[in-house]
Homo-oligomer: A and B are copies of this chain.
Amino acid sequence: MVNHTRRLNLTFRALADPTRRDLLSSLMRGEASVSRLAAPHRMSLPAVMKHLRVLRRAGLVRQRKVGRLQRCALRAAPLRDAEQWIARYRLFWEAQLDSLDHFLTGSHAPASAQARQPKEIVQWPKSKRRPRSR
């Protein structure tokens, strides 16, 4: 349990930075050297290496030496637990977005959604309004 909690901490922390998310996206295309991964980013190589270290600690990247190059590869397995943790909230976000939908289209929210998220439509801050993509 402690390990599972720690793994989730490390995974979510690793994902909280846009550069680290970009690095993971790049690795979806396959293994890459550190310098190639760093190329699109407007930051120093040591800064990128620091981000890679956070990803390695979270078990999301494996780094190995091939000749004189450091090659990185994606390790997606820890993301499964993160996805499972978040998915428990699906019913709640569906109810919330349904209510917003009904509000924007002028119809009444379904009873189930109203029961789950009381008064949500009135309280929803304007800046957070967004169309629901379906």
Contact = CB atoms under 8 A, between A and B. Distances in A.
A77 interface: yes
Contacts of A59: 128
A32 interface: no
A40 to B, nearest CB: 15
Label chain A's interface by main secondary structure.
helix
Interface string A97-109: 1001000000000
Interface in A11-62: 12-13, 15-18, 21, 24, 28, 31, 59, 62
16 contacts: A8-B15, A13-B13, A13-B16, A15-B82, A24-B89, A28-B88, A64-B123, A76-B93, A77-B100, A77-B128, A79-B89, A79-B93, A80-B97, A82-B86, A83-B86, A83-B90
Contacts of A28: 88-89, 92
Q: In the assembly, how many copies of this chain are there?
A: 2
Contact of A9 (B17, B76, B128): B17
Contacts of A97: 77, 80
Given A76-B92, A93-B79, A85 B16 contact: no
